Structure 1
Amino acid sequence: MKANQISTGKIIDGKEVFALELQNSRGSYAKIYNYGGIISEFVVTNAQGEKQNILLGFDDFDGYLSEDYLSNYPYLGVVVGRYSNRIKDGRFSINGKEYQMTKNLHGGTTGFDRKVWDILPTVDPSLTLQYISPANEEGFPGTLTVQLTIKLTDEDELILDYKAITDEPTAINLTHHSYFNLETNGGNISEHFHRMPASHYLQQDEDYTVTGVVLPVEGTIHDFLGGKRIGQDMDPAEGYDQSYVLDKPYGELGLASETMAASSGLKLEVYTTEPIAHFYTAKYLDIPNGKGDKVFGPFSAFCVETQHHPNGINIPEFPTTVLLPGDTYMQTTIFKVSQ
Structure 2
Amino acid sequence: MNTKLVKTGKIIDGQEVIGIELTNTKGTYVKVYNYGTIISKFVVTNKQGEKQDIVLGFDDFDQYLSEGYRENYPYLGAVIGRYANRIKDGRFNLEGLDYQLAKNTGYDCLHGGKTGFDSRVWEVLSTIDPSVTMRYVSPAAEEGFPGNLVVELTFKLTDEDELILDYKATTDAVTPINLTHHSYFNLSPDGGPIIHHHHRMPASYYLEQDDTYCVTGKLIPVAGTHHDFLAGKPIGENWDTELGYDQTYVLDKAYGELTLASETTEAASGLKLTVYTTEPVAHFYTAKYLDVKNGKGGAHYEPFGAFCVETQHAPNSVNVPSLPSTILKPGERYQQTTIYKIEHQ
* TM-score bracket relative to the smaller structure: over 0.9
Tell me the residue number matched to 1:63. 63
Amino acid of the structure 1 residue aligned with 2:253: K
Instruction: Quote the Cα distance in structure 2 between the aligned partners of 1:175 and 1:103.
Output: 19
Q: Cα deviation per residue 1:260-296 (whole Å; 9 max; x = unaligned)?
A: 0001000000000000000000000001210011110
Alignment of 1:306-321 (within 5 A): 306-321=311-326
User: In the alignment, which residue of structure 1 is the partner of 2:274?
Assistant: 269
SS at match of 2:257: coil
Residue in 1 that maps onto 2:333: 328
User: Aligned partners of 1:274 and 1:246: how far apart in 2?
Assistant: 9
Q: 2-side partners of 1:213 and 1:145: how far apart?
A: 32
TM-score by length of structure 1 reads: 0.99
- Name the CA distance, whole Å, in 2 between partners of 1:336 and 1:269: 5
Show structure 2 runs of 5+ residues with no match: 105-109
Q: Distance in 1 between matches of 2:126 and 2:335?
A: 20
In 1, distance between residues paired with 2:65 and 2:180?
21
Q: How many aligned positions are there?
A: 339
1:328/1:28 CA distance change after superposition, 3 Å: same
Whole-angstrom CA distance in 2 between matches of 1:146 and 1:304: 21
Q: Could you tell which deviates more after superposition, 271-280 or 122-131?
A: 122-131
Q: Which amino acid counterpart does residue 180 of structure 2 have in structure 1?
A: T
1:30 counterpart residue number: 30
- Please state if 1:186 is matched with 2:224: no
Q: For the residues of structure 1 that align with 2:209 and 2:235, how far apart are their CA atoms?
A: 20
CA contact (8 A) 2:32 2:41 kept: yes
Give the equivalent residue in structure 2 for 1:283: 288
Which amino acid is 1:137 matched to? E
Amino acid in the other structure paired with 1:293: G
Q: Does 1:207 align with 2:230?
A: no
1:123 Cα offset (Å): 4.5
SS at match of 2:86: coil
* Aligned residue in 1 for 2:84: 84
The list of structure 1 runs, each at least 4 consecutive aligned residues, that deviate by more than 4 angstroms after superposition, is: none
RMSD: 0.7
Contact 2:126 2:134 in 1 (8 A): no
The structural deviation recorded for 1:41 is 0.5
Deviation at residue 112 of structure 1 after TM alignment: 0.2
Q: Quote the Cα distance in structure 2 between the aligned partners of 1:137 and 1:287.
A: 28
1:156 aligns with 2:161: yes
Aligned-residue offset at 1:122: 4.0
What aligned pairs does 1:211-230 form with structure 2 within 5 A after superposition?
211-230=216-235
Shift of 1:167: 0.1
Q: Distance in 2 between matches of 1:125 and 1:35?
A: 19
The answer for unaligned runs of 5 or more in structure 1 is: none
In 1, the alpha carbon distance for the partners of 2:216 and 2:174 equals 23
What do the CA deviations read for 1:229-266 (whole angstroms, capped 9, x no partner)?
A: 00002111111000000001000001000000001000
Please state how far the C-alpha of 1:223 moved relative to its aligned partner. Answer: 0.3
CA distance in structure 2 between the aligned counterparts of 1:77 and 1:122, rounded to whole angstroms: 20
